[in-house]
Amino acid sequence: MTFGSQTRTRWTAAAFIPFLFLAIVVLQQRIDAKTRTAALEQEELLLRSGQVAKNLSLGYDSLLADIYWTRAVQYYGARIGVPGAKFDLLWPLLDVTTTLDPHLMPAYRFGAIFLSETGEGGAGRPDLAVELVKRGIVANPSEWRLDTDLGFLYYWRIHDYKNAAVAYLQASTNPEAPLWAKYMAARIAQKGGSIETSRMIWSELYLSTKDPNIKKTAAQELQSLQAQDDESRLDAIAEEYRTRFGHYPASIQDLVSVKLLYGPPADPAGFPYVLGPNGKSHLNPASTIVIKELRTTPPHH
């Protein structure tokens, strides 16, 4: 064979290589079309252990983590909104992803949403979402957003107000965290019945801030908490009156007349409290005090 013919043969072979790869891709797509679900699930099941995947990554941990994260997103996207769809492999995929790369923030933040959504929108596993975010916090202690994500999960998904307040308060200790994290901690503590914790946080805000608007808000919240405390005590006294006399007092003056009170109590703005027919106290309609309800959705969501 001459040099020229050898050169032509080599160029022909080289030119044929892209077509060979294309043929392989087409063939693989046909195979995948027939065995896609079973093959993918078997593959994922083989590498459920993040540590095993890490050992097999040969140092390419971050690259492999990106691949697993992409697969987790695809897995979730293929099932969201599908009636009866199951998300059994979602946690293993996220587990492997975050083991391979403990600093991959989207895997924690969006993965927690995927896990906690209910119905056809997700796995309905807020417990695993909490576990995932807690893992992220341990690996990334300076990321205050993960603490607020944890607070959101506790508050919105699990209705655990105590732990939600703790999570938001922890987020607020980060110098880069926004002020609303501490607001959320105070108000969720209040919603969960921990008025003393809420009072402590608002008091700290009032004493530490130089912003007049924040100071004004904190003062209003402290007055609101004081009013709630006063109302709780008046309700208890009204119950004692009912136990003694068989009916609720008609007014605050009834409590004063039997010496259960020394005088008509007033709220922090100076307006006397009012008793309803069921013995429940409430603010005077003329009062400037406002007892605020917790907003339903934390600001970052």
Structure tokens at 225: 């908490």
- DSSP lists the bridge partners of residue 275 as 281
- How far apart CA 118 and CA 72 sit, in angstroms, is 17
Distances (CA, A) of 263 to 29, 136, 229: 84, 55, 17
Residue 114 φ then ψ, to 5°: -55, -45
**Structure confidence at residue 35 (pLDDT):** 43
Distant-in-sequence contacts of 46-54, Cβ < 8 A, 24+ apart:
47/96, 48/92, 48/95, 48/96, 49/96, 50/95, 50/96, 50/97, 50/98, 50/99, 50/100, 51/99, 53/96, 53/99, 53/100, 54/99, 54/100
Do the Cβ atoms of 233 and 246 come closer than 8 Å?
no
Residue 22 φ then ψ, to 5°: -60, -40
Residue 151 CB: number of other CB atoms within 10 A?
29
**Structure confidence at residue 120 (pLDDT):** 84
Residue count of the chain: 301
E strand map for the chain: 274-275, 281-282
**Structure confidence at residue 52 (pLDDT):** 62
- How far apart CA 73 and CA 71 sit, in angstroms, is 5
Helices (H) and strands (E) in the chain, counts: 12, 2
- How far apart CA 61 and CA 64 sit, in angstroms, is 5
Residues in the chain where the model's pLDDT stays below 70: 1-59, 292-301
Helices 126-139 + 105-116 axis angle, to 10: 170
**Structure confidence at residue 62 (pLDDT):** 87
DSSP 154: I
**Structure confidence at residue 39 (pLDDT):** 44
DSSP 119: G
Q: Which of 278, 281, 301, 255 has its CA nearest to residue 113?
A: 301
- How far apart CA 172 and CA 180 sit, in angstroms, is 8
Q: What is the 3-state secondary structure of 47-100?
A: CCCHHHHHHHCCCCHHHHHHHHHHHHHHHHHHHCCCCCCCCCCHHHHHHHHHHH
Do the Cβ atoms of 264 and 252 come closer than 8 Å?
yes
**Structure confidence at residue 59 (pLDDT):** 64
DSSP 281: E
**Structure confidence at residue 121 (pLDDT):** 87
